[in-house]
Structure 1
Amino acid sequence: MSKLQKNLLKSKLSTSSRPDQDLREEADEGVWEEGDLANANSPTPPHDIPPAEFAVPERRPRKQHYKVTPWKAYWRASDSPELSAPPCAFKVYYTTPTPSPSKNPTWFIFHHGAGSSGLTFSVLAARIHESLPEVGVLAYDARGHGATKTADPDEKDASLDTLARDFVNIVAHAIRLAPLPADSKKPVEVVFIGHSLGGAVVTEAVRRFSEFWSPDNLPKPIISGLVVLDVVEGSALEGLGSMRSYLASRPQYFRSLEDGIRWHVKSHTVRNTASASVSVPGIIQQDANGRYQWITDLLLTEPFWKSWFVDLSSKFLEARSGKMLVLAGTDRLDKKLTIGQMQGKYQLEVLPEVGHFIQEDAPEKLAALLEQFWQRNRRGAALEIKSLNAHSLVWGTSGNSTPAVMPRPNQ
């Protein structure tokens, strides 16, 4: 049992809900400051798709500090490669894989949701690499987000086609960061992980990978898995109707980075202070007046909102790789996904007591799920299980009727 799996087991045994009385007492302590929260009496939805409901967070210390944590605390390096068309210099955060003589080189590559940044995966990525040093982890700021810069500042292309093409180009960049020896016969494996809008992007990238793959000097990697975090076509499309009112309800600026972190934690947008301390500085920036405003104007992306999610369920179910959907609540499943789950077409996991930002609220639990998913779906896993079966060990399916090893078609 790995370190992450042990931590996951411990957390399941110790999880407890936070009494309402504690919430009332904290509200009376004077931690709210004028201008910090548009509506202190109601939970605030996430950056891109408002969830159907918010669970009560786990108990936290009454007094908290909202200091900024630098990205270097979780990532080994960062760069800004110029890729794609229209031209764009992407801000990339990564930790390269440690070479393993027995396993194929592998990358977990992440795509964030609308209005977020690659730093939303910081704590999660560090946990994964700590447990699986042979796996590289990489996240980046999508165009129009974070520290990524487009050649034309007025360029506002946020189409699914462009975002998916960008993602495939980032995959090629990841492979270049840890080049294989010239005589290596091991193919690089990749696992695509996307949150909310990012889930739609990575699903489209799997579907059109051969079309978008352009490097002639790099062999195509093997896509070992596709993981979508807390987005479902039906609820996403329904949520778009309230996006304008949600965006209008958010604070328009903060006095400092610390105020921004505090607002995200106190509004339960992010329920993990450690995660918010590194992710929030990636989504707000100081203006000429010294205040901190949102980097991404999501209203400018409104023409693309619907096209991001239309047919997402069908695309996900048809993806030619192992698949996992991780949700904060089962009520978000639509009809297609419900039928697909009953047929064992993908692995479904539901994490209790988390909000929309699963990767920030429960990084250790999610890291353990991703590790288990990769171990089942990586290249050679089927041969290892077959060998174990020959020694009379019984390998069944997961509790959600998902096959232990997904079939691997030719990429």
Structure 2
Amino acid sequence: MSRLQKTLLKSKLSTSSTPDQVLDEEAEEGAWEESDLVDPNAPTPPHDIPPAEFAVPERRPRKQHYKATPWKAYWHASDSPNLSAPPCVFKVYYTTPTPSPSKSPTWFIFHHGAGSSGLTFSVLAARIHESLPEVGVLAYDARGHGATKTADADEKEASLDTLTRDFINIVAHAMRLSPLAADNQKPVEVVFIGHSLGGAVVTEAVRRFPEFWSPDNLPKPIISGLVVLDVVEGSALEGLGSMRSYLASRPQYFRSLEDGIRWHVKSHTVRNAVSASVSVPGIIQPGANGRYQWITDLSLTEPFWKSWFVDLSSKFLEARSRKMLVLAGTDRLDKKLTIGQMQGKYQLEVLPEVGHFIQEDAPEKLAGLLEQFWQRNRRGSALEIKALNAHSLVWGPSGTSTPAVMPRPNP
């Protein structure tokens, strides 16, 4: 590759790639077939014409392939418990926490957005458990989505109440997946993480957890964190007006699974090809004509759209838990959240270089944020800081002792 071609390639990568783009674009652009060499006998351009006008590649890049990746590449197990009411058999993907003698068992439990599936968190969840083995990760397909099946195929119940009850039943199921030893008195901690519609569900779950928690034989877990991904009340309600046109603009079918993955990447719906290869197979399926169609018909949930997001900002700010809001742009903040953020009621993180599917576009960055959030807010962290302060004092300018480690203020 000539120096000019390399310069053009670097310029392209600097403007189009994202920090967490798992697909190595530079490698793809630099991969060539020997048979693609240009004719060595081609005429040389006149010397009086600027070379830039003839800066064409000497070889052609290979075609990118978009093959599906099985869920087992990112999750240790999957099951299909029959939970909730109306009756529903949920598809659950999970990796159980590795027992730790010094830390409380913890679950990160994810809820996806409308039209998506639990597989949207695959790369993110694997990255979290790899870094924090004592943390279990679990995601599932909500009713009407993915591989989850209702007793009545025509049942389209998608109210916030029903989705919230489902989520809390899934939390109970997670606790049964890794039963504690009889001598282990450490309480189970849970962090709720929801994307888009899932953000509204997990926020409602924190608010109504005592009301909806039903298992008598299970102790209530400690909710040590609430994380909402790229949804706020104001912009969500405003966006509902264009939802019909968006649904109509999408392809109604794909010729193959690879075509579906390719469309999501090329349209920048998901900007990470590696994540799309595992998440897209969870939202499209082959139809009677052999073409791949959307599993979830979002137009059937229209009666519930508004109720999902009404009062979301107030519910989030009032939730009795440590809170973090991760957005793809500050323009999404509404007035209530702006005031709440200035008052320190929650942690705000902005990743402007990503799209709506933050968990897929930037899994490494988001995993880092979630790990820091958990480490700071887990139940034992305050006790560790208190113990350290009791034995480690430094002297302030006035001669009075002050803590060596100051606890970070939390909303």
In which range does the TM-score fall when normalised by the shorter chain?
A: 0.7 to 0.9
The alpha-carbon deviation at position 12 of structure 1 amounts to 18
Q: Distance in 1 between matches of 2:105 and 2:215?
A: 19
SS of equivalent residue, structure 1 residue 293: strand
Q: SS at 1:190's partner residue?
A: strand
Shift of 1:352: 2.4
Q: 1:24 to 1:102 in 2, by over 3 A?
A: closer
CA distance in 2, matches of 1:378, 1:54: 60
Give the conservation status (yes or no) of the 8 Å contact 1:116–1:283.
Answer: yes
* Offset from partner CA, 1:114-144 (integer Å, 9 cap, x none): 0000000000000000000000000000000
After superposition, give the CA deviation of every residue in 1:285-313 in whole Å (9 maximum; x if it has no partner). Answer: 00011000000000000000000000000
The answer to whether the 8 Å contact 2:283/2:294 transfers is yes
Distance 1:399 1:51 in 2: 72
Conserved 8 A contact 1:328-1:356: yes
Higher relative contact order (CA 8 A, sep 6+): 1
SS of 1:402's equivalent?
strand
CA contact (8 A) 1:200 1:309 kept: yes
Q: 2-side partners of 1:310 and 1:51: how far apart?
A: 59
With normalisation by structure 2, the TM-score equals 0.82
| Aligned CA distance change for structure 1 residues 345 and 293 (closer, same or farther; 3 Å) | same
Shift of 1:182: 1.9
- 1:388 deviates by 3.4
**Any idea what SS the aligned residue of 2:270 has?**
coil
Instruction: Describe the SS at the equivalent of 1:325.
Output: strand
Inter-partner Cα distance in structure 2 for 1:135 and 1:47: 65
Give how far 1:280 is off.
Answer: 0.1
Q: Give 1:65 deviation, angstroms.
A: 1.9
> What is the match of residue 315 of structure 2?
315
Give unmatched runs, 5+ long, in structure 2: none
- Change in Cα spacing, 1:220 to 1:63, as seen in structure 2 (3 Å) is same
Matched, 1:216 2:216: yes
Whether the aligned pair in 2 keeps the contact of 1:325 and 1:348 (CA below 8 Å) is yes
Kept after mapping to 2: 8 A contact 1:37/1:267: no
Cα gap change, 1:106 to 1:22, in 2 (>3 Å): closer
Query: Which residue in the other structure is 2:36 paired with?
Result: 36
Check 1:10–1:38 CA distance in 2 against 1; reply closer, same or farther (3 A cut).
closer
Count of aligned pairs: 411
- CA shift, 1:4, in A, is 35
Shift in CA distance, 308/242, structure 1 to aligned 2, threshold 3 Å: same
Q: C-alpha displacement at 1:56, in angstroms?
A: 24
Q: For residues 393 and 4 of structure 1, what CA distance do their matches in structure 2 show? A: 60
83-92 or 25-34: which moved more? 25-34
- Do the aligned residues in 1 keep the contact of 2:20 with 2:364 (CA within 8 Å)? no
Matched residue of 2:395: which SS? coil
**3-state SS of 2:78 partner:** strand
Quote how far apart the aligned CAs of 1:40 are.
36
Question: Residues 367, 405 of structure 1: CA spacing in aligned structure 2 closer, same or farther, 3 A cutoff?
Answer: farther
Q: Deviations over 1:43-72 (max 9, x none)?
A: 999999999999999999985320100000
Whether contact under 8 Å (1:49, 1:236) holds in the other structure is: no
Counterpart residue number, 1:282 = 282
User: Is contact 1:83–1:166 with CA below 8 Å preserved after alignment?
Assistant: yes
Change (3 A) 1:402 1:389: closer
Counterpart mapping for 1:8-407 below 5 A: 63-390=63-390
Q: Which has the higher Rg, Structure 1 or Structure 2?
A: 2
- Structure 1 residues without counterparts, runs of 5 or longer: none
Q: 1:229 and 1:192, CA in 2 relative to 1: closer, same or farther beyond 3 A?
A: same
Matched-pair contact (CA < 8 Å) for 1:202–1:226: yes
Shift of 1:184: 1.9
Distance of 1:386 and 1:49 partners within structure 2: 73
SS in 1 for 2:120: helix
So what's the TM-score if we normalise by structure 1?
A: 0.82
Q: Which moved more, 1:377-386 or 1:196-205?
A: 377-386
Alignment deviations for residues 312-352 of structure 1 (CA, whole Å, 9 cap, x no partner):
00000000110000000000000000000000000000012
